[in-house]
Amino acid sequence: MWFRKALFISVPEPNNYYVVIDPLDFYEWRYSGFAPKGATFTQKLPPSDIFTEGKVIASAVISPQNLEKSDIHFKLNQDTPVSIIIRAGYIPDPTELLAKYDQMKLSFAQGLKSFKEHMILKKYVSSQSKDPHLMRFHSSTDDEVTLQVLGSIEDLTAKFANIHSALSKECIEKIGRAREVEKFRRYDHAMTYINNSHLDVDAAKMDQLMKGVSIKDIPLKKSSWRECYLDMSVGAGIINEQMREYESKKWVRDLLARKGNL
């Protein structure tokens, strides 16, 4: 049905090409009057499954001299003036898109506030990098935070396991003396708790594990709270990228500037 409707409303024109486009980019092309170099077009209607990605199908009349053939696609070889028209799919109006941006900003601000409170209360956090490191809260101001870099999670886990093994051996060799048994029991309980990833890191239990780990000259890392939040939270990074995508569009920046929100 959508295909027949799209064909009906799309009056065949010379040099008419289709593009699958995000609503943010659709308004950017409309606002600037240009499609960017590298934009991809086809001469046939794209498949309907693109709608599940929140994109729409649009068309534009483009001079063939501005296009380069690539398989079944055509790419713009330079920024090109276009008049773009929606052919199929739902496109939110600009106010709906800006409302989504405002909600992202609010979610990010609330997440940052919760992160600050969690960091100060819980003390420990791990970085979200390819080689995650364990950090411990050291000090902070309203704008900045200083963390102790305790080492990579992989290295610390190995050290915890070695200490656990040594305490177990000591407990056995001293025939279960109360002092050794208690030391082993506390360490074993802390490891069991920390290894359950669905549980929040308990500061007291992490302190218990860290007691036996000798770290000389613990380096300090100072950053803004915002930078720290982005380093430590995957979700924060996703929201931040989405906001940056909005802010990369001139039409969005101009509207936000008028509202005093940028």
At 189-213, the pLDDT tens digits run 555 545 554 445 667 777 777 776 7
Helix (H, G, I), strand (E, B) or coil at 36: coil
Distance CA 257, CA 262 (A): 5
The pLDDT of residue 244: 95
pLDDT band at 241 (very low <50, low <70, confident <90, very high): very high
Cα 177 to its chain centre, rounded Å, is 51
pLDDT for 251 beyond 90? yes
Average pLDDT of the chain to the nearest whole number: 79
pLDDT class of 51 with cuts at 50, 70, 90: low
Please tell me the predicted confidence (pLDDT) of residue 233. Answer: 86
Distance between CA atoms of 91 and 83, rounded to whole angstroms?
Answer: 17
Mean pLDDT of 28-37: 93
**Which whole number is the average pLDDT over 79-100?**
89
What is the distance between the alpha carbons of residues 252 and 94, in angstroms, rounded to a whole number? 9
Give the H or E element holding residue 246: helix 234-247
pLDDT for the residue 12:
47
Alpha helix ranges (H) inside the chain:
2-9, 23-32, 94-122, 153-173, 178-195, 203-210, 225-232, 234-247, 250-259
- pLDDT tens figures, 171-186: 665 555 555 555 556 5
Q: Residue 149 CA to chain centroid, in angstroms? A: 23
- Higher-confidence position of 200 and 9: 200
Average pLDDT, integer, range 8-26? 75
In the chain, pLDDT over 90 holds for what percent of residues? 35
Domains contained in the chain, CATH given:
2-91 (3.20.170), 98-257 (no CATH)
SS3 229: helix
User: In whole angstroms, what is the distance from residue 125 CA to residue 137 CA?
Assistant: 8
Span of 77-86, 110-119, 172-181, 192-201 with lowest mean pLDDT: 192-201
Q: What is the pTM of this model?
A: 0.75
Decide which of 9 and 105 is more confident: 105
User: Residue 225: its pLDDT value, please?
Assistant: 96
Q: Which of 131, 127, 134, 122 is nearest to 199 (CA)?
A: 122
